[in-house]
Amino acid sequence: MPTMLERIQPALAARDSSLDSSALLTDATLESLPLNVLWVPRSCGLMTDLELELTESHDATDLLRMLAGRKVTAQTLLMAFRKRATIAQQCAVEDAKACDEHLAKTGQPIGPLHGLPISVKEQISIAGHCTNAGFVAWASNACQEDAHIVKSLKKLGAVVFARTNQPQSLVHLETSNNIYGATVHPMNRNLTAGGSTGGEAALMTMKGTPLGIGGDIGGSIRVPAALNGIYGFVPTPGRISGENVVVPAQGCDSIVGTLGPMARSLRDLALFCRAYSSSRPWIEDVSLIPSDILCPALGRQLEPGLPLRVGIMLDDGVVSPLPP
């Protein structure tokens, strides 16, 4: 029987081989890293002014306008975020090329997310890659098929270019496992990035991705979003497909979790919700609730003069929450 280290090594090798060699930091830089590493991409000298501008100054909504208006190509944008994140696969580069070729040939974007680089939580399967959900025993768990959410993103024109760390077994407010180790906060490496979608939150805080997909069952999107100063949205279960998403104890009755978007702006969350609903995912995944709008109120402006209303259920007839 292979030892734990023998199980881990192939997963680490696969991760390391996906790093962009042009974005590897020098030993001197690594040895003198400050606790706050947000400015390392700008100070290390590895990124061009254009790459810095693309990754730092625009949210996903702006980037999609630039792609559709041919102010930037999908390949240039992917390379900028790939360098920033230092993780990408060959298939993602081919997807970006296909986006550029389609736009050049037809004059029309593939879909509402045309050419946009998007990262996803590690538990979200990508065909041809291993998905371990943080479990050493699953370190070599090769996926034969994309998760449904990945298929939907590609259909909408997005380029899924990276997967990010999560804790073993999920349902944890920090992000650490015995394969990839701990994900720390980019603003202070002595602190946690939160969990369980801490990898997405940390990468977004480093401006290594414009839009990400996480998972939440008890705060796994909300907590990292709060700790990192970004936006996260947890839709009602049954709205975003969890097909081919690796979770522990699959098939057992439990609290129902859900996938959801993480972004740099509220309008990007609304953008994802509109785009995803437009793909009509419930036609392929019949467990989903048909809904043309994932969240009608998300991104909508309040009418002038009307107060904001927040609904609170103090007692549902079964459970009464304790006072704070």
**CA dihedral of 152, 156, 161, 163, whole degrees rounded to 10:** -30
Does 60 reside within a domain?
A: yes
Of 83, 121, 151, 154, which residue is the catalytic one?
121
- What pLDDT shows up at residue 30? 77
Averages of pLDDT over runs of 10 residues in the chain (324 residues) are 88 85 83 84 89 95 96 94 63 72 94 96 94 92 94 96 93 93 92 96 94 96 97 94 90 86 96 94 93 67 76 84 70
- What pLDDT shows up at residue 89? 31
Active site residue 121: yes
Active site residue 265: no
- What pLDDT shows up at residue 185? 93
Does 11 reside within a domain?
A: yes
Does 294 reside within a domain?
A: no
Of 119, 220, 241, 265, which residue is the catalytic one?
220
**CA dihedral of 271, 310, 319, 258, whole degrees rounded to 10:** 0
Does 312 reside within a domain?
A: no
- What pLDDT shows up at residue 88? 31
For residue 45, the domain's CATH number is 3.90.1300.10
What domain range includes position 133? 4-283
- What pLDDT shows up at residue 300? 65
Does 10 reside within a domain?
A: yes
Task: Tell me the whole-structure pTM to 2 decimals.
Answer: 0.85
Task: Judge contact between 244 and 147, C-beta under 8 A.
Answer: yes
Q: What's the domain count of the chain?
A: 1
Does 320 reside within a domain?
A: no
Tokens of 163: 């997967």
Active site residue 155: no
* DSSP letter (8 states) at residue 3: -
Does 306 reside within a domain?
A: no
Of 152, 176, 196, 277, which residue is the catalytic one?
196
For every residue of 101-170, DSSP letters joined together read HHHHHHSS-SSTTTT-EEEEETTB--TTSB--TT-GGGTT-B-SS--HHHHHHHHTT-EEEEEE---TTS
Does 19 reside within a domain?
A: yes
Which phi and psi (to 5°) does residue 184 adopt? -110, 170
- What pLDDT shows up at residue 91? 35
